[in-house]
Amino acid sequence: MGLWVAMIVTTLLVVITGIIYFKPSLAWDFPPNAFNFNFEYLKGLGKGSATVLYLFLGYDQICYLGGEVRDPGRTIPRAVVYSVLAVAAIEVAMSIGFIGVIPWREAMTSQSIGSLFMERTYGAWAGQLLALLIIVTAFASIFALLLGYSRVPYAAAQDGVFFRWLGELHPDKAFPHRSLILVGTAAVLASFSVWSRWILALMAARILIQFLARTIGVIVLRRKNSGQVRPFSMWGYPLPAILSLTGYIYIFLTLGLNYILFGILTIAAGAAVFLAASWKQGNWPFHKATP
C-alpha cells in the first residue's frame, strides 16, 4: 500500500506541475517535416511504439494471478481495461507536461528528464526530491512485476513443461519462492546491461511469444470451441484482434534485424525445449492416439 501511495504522489506531482507551468509554445514546437509520412518516419514510429508498449507492461499482471482472484471472469477484463486506460492517461499527461516545460530538443538529450523538469520549475531541491520518488516508484514497479512474472515459470513447471523444481510453493507463505528467485536473479543480471537494448530485445520476444500468440489463440479458441462458456467477450470481435495483429506485426518488423532475429531465436529455443519435454513425457504432439 505504501509503495502504491508513493507512486500516486509522484505521478500527481509531475502531472499537476505540468499543468501549472505548461507553455503551449514549447509543447507544439514541431520540427520541420515532423509529419512527413515516408519510410523512415514509419520505421521510427514503429520502433518508438515498441518502447511505449514496454511502458504498458504490467497491465496484464492480473492474468498471471487469475487463480488467486475472486470472480476472475469479471475481475480480469476490468482490471486489464482500467489499467490500460489509466496508464495511457498518465503517459499522455506526463509527456505533454514535460515538453510543455522543457524544449523537446533539450529533453531528447536529458538523462533524467523528470528531475530536470522539477528543477526547472521549483529548483534543485525539487529535482532531487523527484529523483528519490522515482527510485521508490521504480522499486514499487519491479516489486509488483516480480510477484506477477514469478507465476509464469511456476505455472510452466506445474504443467510439466519447465523444471519441476520451480513448481513448488513456499511452505509457510504459499508463494512460488523458487520461481521468484529465478526471475529476480535474471532481472538483476539484466540491469547491468544497456536498458534500451534490453527493452527492444524483450519486446521482440514478447511480440512473438505472447502478444501475437494469444491474439491468434483467441481466434482459434472461438472457432474450434464455439460452444465453450466464456465469462467475458471481446467487444467488436474480430476487429480488435485484427487491429492488434496488424499493429504487433508492424512494430516487430521495424525493430531492426538484430532484434527480429533475437525474437525468432527466442521462440525457436522455447519450441525446442517444449518439444523435448513433450517427447520425454509422451504428450502432444508425440502422444499415442487413444483407441
Whole-angstrom distance, CA of residue 70 vs CA of residue 255: 39
| Mean of pLDDT over the chain | 87
pLDDT, average across residues 109-130: 90
For the chain, percent of residues with pLDDT exceeding 90: 37
Q: Give the global pTM.
A: 0.82
Q: What is the pLDDT of residues 154-207, one digit of tens each?
A: 988 888 778 888 999 999 988 899 999 999 998 888 888 777 788 889 899 999
Task: Please tell me the predicted confidence (pLDDT) of residue 192.
Answer: 81
pLDDT, average across residues 217-223: 88
Task: Please tell me the predicted confidence (pLDDT) of residue 105.
Answer: 86
Whole-angstrom distance, CA of residue 188 vs CA of residue 202: 15
Task: Please tell me the predicted confidence (pLDDT) of residue 239.
Answer: 93
Task: Please tell me the predicted confidence (pLDDT) of residue 286.
Answer: 82
Task: Please tell me the predicted confidence (pLDDT) of residue 129.
Answer: 92
Task: Please tell me the predicted confidence (pLDDT) of residue 82.
Answer: 92
Whole-angstrom distance, CA of residue 129 vs CA of residue 127: 5
- Cell 521468484 belongs to 180
Q: Is the pLDDT of residue 125 over 90?
A: yes
CB contact set of 139 (below 8 Å; sequence gap of 6+): 3
Give the residue extent of every domain in the chain.
Answer: 193-291
Where residue 92 falls among pLDDT bands split at 50, 70, 90? Answer: very high
- Cell 487413444 belongs to 290
Query: Which amino acid, residue 40?
Result: E
- Cell 523444471 belongs to 163
pLDDT, average across residues 25-38: 82
Where residue 290 falls among pLDDT bands split at 50, 70, 90? Answer: low
pLDDT, average across residues 17-32: 88
pLDDT, average across residues 100-125: 89
Q: What is the pLDDT of residues 221-251, one digit of tens each?
A: 888 887 777 777 788 888 999 999 999 999 9
CA angle 53, 67, 50 (to 5 degrees): 5
pLDDT, average across residues 253-274: 92
Around Cβ 156, how many Cβ atoms within 10 Å? 19
CA angle 153, 215, 210 (to 5 degrees): 25
Task: Please tell me the predicted confidence (pLDDT) of residue 288.
Answer: 60
The answer to whether 142 and 187 are in contact (CB under 8 A) is yes
